[in-house]
Chain A
Amino acid sequence: AQSVTQLDSQVPVFEEAPVELRCNYSSSVSVYLFWYVQYPNQGLQLLLKYLSGSTLVKGINGFEAEFNKSQTSFHLRKPSVHISDTAEYFCAVSSYTGTASKLTFGTGTRLQVTL
């Protein structure tokens, strides 16, 4: 079984400030890790993913995340946020099980960027 914990349900931040959204996971097997963003009344958009290789992953819109196996974490960071980054962010984990890879999502973090 696998699970994802997003410790912060809401993160308020001022525009142009840095932000970190925390994600911890648990799994008995090797995993793939993802961050998705969801804007109101929309589906999910992939920000970035870790499959293997370099532990620092760069994604779209200036986001990056670092995979830390010893701490079972995959925190999302952005050095300078914009108002348009206001959205819900979901961390997810997947283990490869043949043709279908089931995703387990965290509870989400609401990023609120203000002026």
Chain B
Amino acid sequence: GAVVSQHPSWVICKSGTSVKIECRSLDFQATTMFWYRQFPKQSLMLMATSNEGSKATYEQGVEKDKFLINHASLTLSTLTVTSAHPEDSSFYICSAGRTGRSYNEQFFGPGTRLTVL
């Protein structure tokens, strides 16, 4: 159990276009989902925390108008990279939080490789 999927697994787009990445919890409900960005050979940096039915909370330095997050249901969160530029090329990973007795464990998706030409 606790499977998280992401779609697409990789995407190539032209500069200036928008790209949507989906994150789904397949066998559990996730009130909270997280979006991370990972540059090559670097660690994961939290971009934002997405709560079902409310606005996402963005980390300092992350442009909310650039990275639109929608958490419309308990099993789906989407990240839209608007007007993408080559510097937005990265590996984007989502995680879904499942409430436990004492803490909210995160389960990670397989990631989405975005390349902006």
What chain A residues lie within 8 Å of B32 (beta carbons)?
Answer: 99-100
A41–B103 CB distance below 8 A? no
A101–B97 CB distance below 8 A? yes
Bitwise interface map of B from 79 to 109 toward A, beta carbon under 8 Å scored 1, else 0? 0000000000001010101010011111111
What is the total of A-B residue contacts with beta carbons within 8 Å?
63
Q: Which of B42, B43, B99, B108 has the most CB of A within 10 A?
A: B43
How many chain A residues sit at the interface, stated as a range, is: 20 to 34
B43–A108 CB distance below 8 A? yes
- Of B14-22, B44-52, B62-70, the segment with at least 4 beta carbons within 8 Å of chain A is B44-52
A102–B43 CB distance below 8 A? no
Contact (A44, B93) CB under 8 Å given A94-B103, A103-B106? yes
Q: Does B8 contact A (CB under 8 A)?
A: no
What chain A residues lie within 8 Å of B91 (beta carbons)?
Answer: 41
What chain A residues lie within 8 Å of B4 (beta carbons)?
Answer: 43
B111–A41 CB distance below 8 A? yes
What chain A residues lie within 8 Å of B106 (beta carbons)?
Answer: 101, 103
Q: Which residue of A lies closest to B6 (CB)?
A: A43
Which of B43, B103, B109, B110 lies in contact with A32, CB distance below 8 A?
A: B103
CA distance A96 to B100 in the complex (A): 11
Q: Does A67 contact B (CB under 8 A)?
A: no
B108–A105 CB distance below 8 A? no
Which of B46, B51, B111 lies in contact with A103, CB distance below 8 A?
A: B46
Contact (A96, B42) CB under 8 Å given A42-B111, A43-B108, A101-B97? no
Which of B99, B107, B110 lies in contact with A99, CB distance below 8 A?
A: B99
CA distance A108 to B38 in the complex (A): 11
Which of A36, A43, A102, A106 lies in contact with B49, CB distance below 8 A?
A: A102
A101–B110 CB distance below 8 A? no
What chain B residues lie within 8 Å of A44 (beta carbons)?
Answer: 44, 93, 95, 108
CA distance A49 to B97 in the complex (A): 15
CA distance A101 to B106 in the complex (A): 8
Q: Which residue of B lies closest to A90 (CB)?
A: B43
